Amino acid sequence: MNPLFNQNNDINAITKELKKSSLSFTNRLQSIIHDAKFVNLVQQELQLPLIANERCGLWYIPPNERTDTCYFKSTDGHTNVWSFSLRRLNLHLLPIINDKQGIIIVDSTRRGKPMPDALLKTIPIWCAVVNTIFFGESQDGWLRTPSIVPRSEHNSIEKLIPEFVKSVRELNLFGRYTHKLNKPLIPRFFYPGCASEELDDNVFNICCVSVSKQVPIHKTITTRGSNGDMISFDYVQGSADDHELWVPKALPEFDANYFWQVKNNLIDPSTGYIPSWRGDDELVKIIQGMNKSDASSDLMVQAVGETEIYFGCVNHVISFDQLPFNTVILHDNVTVLDKNDKSTKQVLQYQIPNNKKGSNMLRSLMPEIIAKIDLQSPISILCGTGKDLSVGLVLILLCLNFNLDWKKIDDPPPITKTLIKQHLGKLSNLYKVNPQRSTLQSINSYLFSQNT
């Protein structure tokens, strides 16, 4: 065998191992801790409430310091596919903005850029559309983007704003918020190493903060701990992004809130960082040792207006008595304890995972599920997140049984894309839910089949 071939294989193996080590669980958490300090500095300077852009931004703000969350997707700001999402209106932010004179929206990116497209373009598009809805056209235009967005791209986006505004007005999605805004929204942009940007009291400042430093791959950084000691580690830009891909399989429940719950058990209190000698295996053991009791369950349900439909999140184990009404459970890993066969309460369980595969499974099961739901009595619909599969089923029930004021109707209306968007827009803004595209495709497929 060619010795050069063996040598190249060895080099590739070493390079792969080095990359794996630099992107370790420990280094990712260490990088999150480091970037969260930047958020704290910005908040101290600007004195505005912190809003985490789901999902990545959640990792950089402790839950007790978040005023709220939002959901602006980078894909809505990608070049040549710019969009204003009619199901991610984020109008729940307007009362906060009005009350606090602005907000700080926190996010990050791992793609070798100083800011994610969600902050660079999606939020500026949102501000421009909201301003136009509330204040009409502006002579200079409402779109504001930072200098790192090419002027040609800025101009291309600006031409689309009237089209986005028209779509919003056609669906009347802003109607209930017309009294909530008295100054225009102007985005400001912050990231590590950027020049400071002045705020303006004559507008609402929407401060877009990207927390991660732009670095090459495998960058070792040295920083100062709380006690003055120097700390070195392999820094991972935007390390929190897509946590399902890097959280160890031994920690299936580990998410941003869980991280902040156990953080103080992972770090050296004197430095504020994870000790350099503490590796992935030890971190996993510490976190497992703090795991919630398997005999408990977090059950959170929300009422859909006065429809007597409830939806929410359930995980792993729940007692029959905890379920408040007739219940549909869309989850492949839930045990209902102490079922009472004499009870009139009905519990329907479907083994559906909370992922794209589950969304596709929902499509084939939908006729069976709908046939078993009786809206003559209250019903709760639960899934693993409370934001996806359960919301999809709620959307179907609303479209088939309620008008846009969510009052019960006897005859289902013709199913149209506009009707679905209107119900979904109302759901999304009242409850900050965001069913994934595959779930919506399954819902649309079922609903449109009802027209035939």
At residue 320 the predicted structure's pLDDT band, cuts being 50, 70 and 90, is confident
Q: Does pLDDT of 220 surpass 70?
A: yes
Minimum mean pLDDT range among 312-316, 324-328, 372-376: 312-316
pLDDT for residue 56 is more than 60: yes
> Which CA distances in Å does 406 have to 175, 177, 271, 304, 312?
16, 18, 54, 8, 18
The answer to whether 390 and 334 have CB atoms below 8 angstroms apart is: no
Mean pLDDT computed over every residue of the chain: 87
What pLDDT, on a 0 to 100 scale, did the predictor assign at position 124? 97
Q: What residues does each domain of the chain span?
A: 1-291, 300-449
Bigger pLDDT: 337 vs 57: 57
Superfamily of domain 300-449: Protein tyrosine phosphatase superfamily (3.90.190.10)
Are the beta carbons of 447 and 420 closer than 8 angstroms?
yes
Q: Which of 72-76, 118-122, 336-340 has the lowest mean pLDDT?
A: 336-340
Cα distances from 414 to residues 167, 397, 398, 400, 420, in angstroms, run 20, 14, 13, 9, 11
User: Is the pLDDT at 43 greater than 60, yes or no?
Assistant: yes
- Alpha carbons 85 and 83: distance in angstroms, whole number: 6
The partner residues of 103 in beta bridges, in order of sequence, read 206
pTM of the model: 0.79
Rounded distance, CA 263 to CA 37, Å?
A: 14
Give the model's confidence band at 104: pLDDT under 50 very low, under 70 low, under 90 confident, else very high: very high
At residue 344, does pLDDT exceed 60? yes
Lowest-confidence pick of 32-46, 72-86, 342-356: 342-356
232 strand-pairing partners? 222
Q: Which of 207, 210, 195 is nearest to 46 (CA)?
A: 207
How would residue 441 be classed by pLDDT, with cut points 50, 70 and 90? very high
Task: State yes or no: pLDDT of 393 exceeds 50.
Answer: yes
pLDDT at 413: 85
